[in-house]
Amino acid sequence: MGTNRTKVTIWNEFVHERKNEKVRAIYPEGIHRALAEGLAASGRDIATATLDQEEHGLSEARLNDTDVLLWWGHIAHKEVSDVVVERVANRVLDGMGLIVLHSGHCSKIFNKLMGTQSCRLKWREADEKERLWVVDPSHPIAAGLGEYIELEREEMYGEHFDVPPPEELVFLSWFPGGEVFRSGLTYRRGRGKVFYFRPGHETYPTYYHPDILRVLSNAIDWAAPSATARPTYGHSKPLEPLNAGEAKP
Ligand code: ZN
């Protein structure tokens, strides 16, 4: 952390955009490119990585040079190598921020960091409106927003969302079908911060919405590593002399 520029890597499985014309029409160069352009701001270095690259574009060197990793995956979760998942998890424990997007709730990395929960939920693709209420108006991830964000059309996700209770709940989504969903959740794992953010189904232009980009931008700042000391574990020598009162003069 010699400089103040936050180094962001946006990972995308990049499968739907190449197979499905409807998705390609919205994200011609992929969700990762759209996000990279939307999040480009001074003070931020943005790189992208995709599943088909060697080591999924997430080499040791790339991860060591990443402050915050964004993760979008859906139909290819199982194709992500366990070695890479382990590597990402270790970087999070060591301080790298992780922002898990939409269908990433079923990714190996999110499941691993959440523990034993399945991370499953209800879903429906029916062009429904989504209203994300800010339920923690003190939270930096909600800075600059109104009381809620409204998306004209999105996929529905409904409770129960099988995740551990979040440390903070920033957004709660409402859908016309009657469901609600905890759509902005924070966790801490080791020295790293994790944010899950619900919207972003591939057939909707969600990642061009200014409020969505603002949330992600805020989340990058929130999840960036703190310059804290690395804890040490295991057998430990005392910092003070023990049994000092009984010591011989
Ligand atoms: Zn989806």
Confidence of residue 247 (pLDDT cuts 50, 70, 90): low
125 CA → ligand 1 middle, Å? 8
4 CA → ligand 1 middle, Å? 34
Instruction: Please name the fold of domain 7-119+183-223.
Output: Rossmann fold (3.40.50)
Check residue 244 and give its pLDDT: 64
1 CA → ligand 1 middle, Å? 35
For the chain, which residues make up each domain, given as ranges?
7-119+183-223
42 CA → ligand 1 middle, Å? 31
128 CA → ligand 1 middle, Å? 13
The answer to whether the CB of 69 falls within 8 A of the CB of 9 is: yes
Q: For residue 100, how many C-alpha atoms fall within 13 Å in the half-sphere facing its CB?
A: 27
pLDDT in tens, 185-232: 999 999 999 999 999 999 999 999 999 999 999 999 999 999 899 999
Tokens of 24: 């390609």
3-state secondary structure of 3: coil
Neighbours of 76 (CB within 10 A): 15
Instruction: State the DSSP H helix or E strand holding residue 197, giving kind and residue range, or none if neither.
Output: strand 192-197
| CA 33/CA 244 separation, integer angstroms | 63
50 CA → ligand 1 middle, Å? 18
Q: Are strands 97-101 and 192-197 parallel, antiparallel or unpaired?
A: parallel
112 CA → ligand 1 middle, Å? 20
Entry pTM: 0.95
